[in-house]
Chain A
Amino acid sequence: MSKMINDEMLSAYLDNELNEKDKLLVEENLLTSSELRTKLEELKKIKFTVKESARSLPESPYFETRLEAALKDNSKQNKLRKFAPAIGFSALAIFLMILFRLNPNFLNTIVEEQKTNIAGFYTENLKPLLFAANIDNEDIFNFAFNKQLPLDDRNNQVLLLGYDPKGVEYFEIKQAGNLEQPNNLDNFIRAMNFTNAEKEKVYQILQSYADDIQSQILVNDRNTVAINPNLWNYNQAIVADICKFAAQVNKPVLQKIMPAAYTYYSDPQVIKAINKAKEDNNEYIFFTPDTVFSEKFYFDKEKFKEDMKQMKKDMSKNMEELNINLRNMKMNLDSSRVMLKDRRHNNDIRVFIDTNSYRVELHNFNIPDFDIELPNMDSINALVEKEMKNLKSFSFVIPDMDEKGKRNFSFKYRTDDSSGEVNVVIPNIDSIVQLQMKNMPKMDSLMKHFSFRTDSSGRYYFDDDSLGINFPGEDFKTQMKMLEKEMKKFQKEMQELRKELKKKEKDSQDVEVRAPLEI
């Protein structure tokens, strides 16, 4: 029987994996066979040893969290991952093939779009440059015949139209050499001997081009300068227009004073030139810090005019409030400062504004010396020195002021062997200063406009407090009053100083006592 039991069955018996029949068989044999029992013991021992050798596995607290993250990562693209590069490239190739097949201009379109984007960047916020320069009829006339336009109010920069040796038109922006502008328009009108009505007509012609010329040169805060080549046509048109009119009035004179090229303008030619200029030519040439390009750009003249009108309206509203005519104030951008120029005062006054202060510089403005008659202190001094030696008594009374604002001080002294009296007339400095201040009309008128203070070197300047909000605001009067008060105080102090000086000098003199004051 034991032969029927192999070791494998014994192992399975140990694991309790035998069916009932085999199990019984093994158990029966185990009872009789010690060899079998030993074998079972050995297997048991091995089984036990293996079981005992089991190590415990440390917990993994983040197992589930990590798994979830991995699943999210993995969930869908995983299948594609292996093939991703292949699929990607083939898809791209197919896409591009289809794209270029259907739309051969695709690349061009992209390039064009890109160009438009850049253009968009530089064409933002374009404003007429000449608006800043505020061109007048003289400027337009110079533009027509001298081909030059001032680009800023100080005439520091001009735009020049020119021809190169090959006859190609060019623009040039350069520093104006001489600031003195010859009065070409006036000279022209005088030479042509125009009547007042004719003069007005010329002005009208020139003025009719002002807006158009302004919109031909645009600038923005990105250092872009956009110039419409059409400017050339305007140049021709204005010349034609003016010459046509002048020829109608007095052709011989025009021929005499104008170069031959300008003189023979017939009506059709003028109309042609004007029409050419007035054609909507929106192709501007853009000069930017990093490129030059030409691009269609529509500058909405009407809208800009509207904006300006509105701005003027707003300004005039403010002007009423401020009670000042801002139309006469012009702003010029200096590198660090903004300068306000008051044209009424003909450059006598300049206001500089920077981050810290507003400063008004007064040019050609002299503050007169104060005319104050002071007594001859030297003679008094000598007297005092001489009589000091034997001074016995000294007296004086404080006199009242006379109508002229003077005080006549009388000092009496007595020495051992003599006595005497010294009269000193002290003028009222206060009243003199007041009087003289009134005689400074320029100062007076300026003070009515600006509230300013003096710095240590006697220059007038505004500070933020006085100008920022109040310029030249309502409490100008109160500030003026304060200024006056301070001046008065100063004057008083000066007076007292002088008095004291006198007193000391008198003190040392020998006087005959009139009032009872014994030393």
Chain B
Amino acid sequence: MINEDKNMNDNSMEVPNIINLDDDFFLIKKFNEGDESTFRNLVHKHKDKVRNLVFITMGNVEQVDDISQDVFITVYRNLKNFRFESQFTTWLYRITINKCKDQLRKAKIRSIFTSIKDDEEEHVVYDKNNEPDDTSAIVQNAIAQLPDKLRIPLLLKDIEGMSYQEIAEATNSEIGTVKSRIFRAREGLKKILKPFEKELMS
């Protein structure tokens, strides 16, 4: 809200554009006024974050660009419905996480129908990718074993450094829930990593 007010003031006072150029609200307004080129600025500004979120959530590189593209296409189509009630990033991250969850759900459904052999192969590939660093492979493997609803908040917190508030908004849940899930994720990891304690210590 504060942000929006500020932005409104800026516009009414006709502050030179340069100041506002990077401001999400300003870009969105421009976009909605018909200047579609501002969308490029939005993408440029947020693509890294979006890609990283997808990467963390999905756990592999392969799908990152496809899903990220999908995210921005959704944003492009719905930008005119943006109500300036929350930050653009909040909205953007929620879309991103939702897209990822969609994908994960689809993958899960797919995995029911794929053979066990395929599953094993996927694991091999996963492990192979992380061969150079043994400890990080162990950890990643452990994280991958967590359920999505615990894993995603944990990673958003510990790797992306998002606040509980931001995570709650992105995952469409309560702050308390986020707090609890992050804790449960850590407890889970502790249990999974117990056998590897020595390797991790060294």
Contact = CB atoms under 8 A, between A and B. Distances in A.
Interface of A: 7-8, 11-12, 15, 17, 42-43, 46-47, 49-55, 57-58, 60, 63-64, 66-68, 70-71, 74-75, 78
A64 B44 CA distance: 7
Nearest to A66: B69
B77 to A, nearest CB: 8
Interface string B27-49: 00000000000011001100100
B40 A64 contact: yes
A49 B185 CA distance: 13
A7 to B, nearest CB: 6
A66 B69 CA distance: 8
Given A50-B143, A53-B135, 18 more contacts: A8-B179, A8-B180, A12-B183, A15-B164, A15-B182, A42-B190, A49-B139, A49-B193, A49-B200, A50-B139, A51-B158, A51-B159, A54-B56, A55-B130, A57-B51, A58-B61, A63-B69, A64-B47
Contacts of A46: 186, 189-190, 193
Given A46-B190, A57-B51, A67 B183 contact: no
Interface of A is mostly: helix
Contacts of A51: 158-159
B151 to A, nearest CB: 10
Contacts, number: 88
Contact of A67 (B55, B69, B154, B180): B69
From B56, B158, B189, residue with most partner A Cβ within 10 Å? B158
B121 interface: no
B99 interface: no
A57 B143 contact: no
A43 B179 CA distance: 14
Contacts of B190: 42, 46
14 contacts: A17-B164, A17-B179, A46-B186, A49-B189, A50-B139, A51-B159, A55-B136, A55-B140, A63-B69, A66-B69, A67-B43, A67-B69, A67-B73, A68-B40
A203 to B, nearest CB: 85
Contacts of B73: 67, 70-71, 74
Contacts of B143: 50, 53
Interface string B68-86: 1100110011000000000
A53 B61 contact: no
Contacts of B179: 8, 11-12, 17
A43 B186 contact: yes
From A11, A49, A54, residue with most partner B Cβ within 10 Å? A49
B92 interface: no
A44 to B, nearest CB: 10
B180 A53 contact: no
A64 B43 contact: yes
B64 interface: yes
Contacts of A15: 157, 164, 182
A64 B39 CA distance: 11
B89 interface: no
A51 B140 CA distance: 10
A51 B189 CA distance: 13
Nearest to A51: B158
Interface string B97-138: 000000000000000000000000000000000100001100
Contact of B155 (A43, A50, A68): A50
B47 A63 contact: yes
Contacts of B72: 67, 71
Contacts of A68: 40
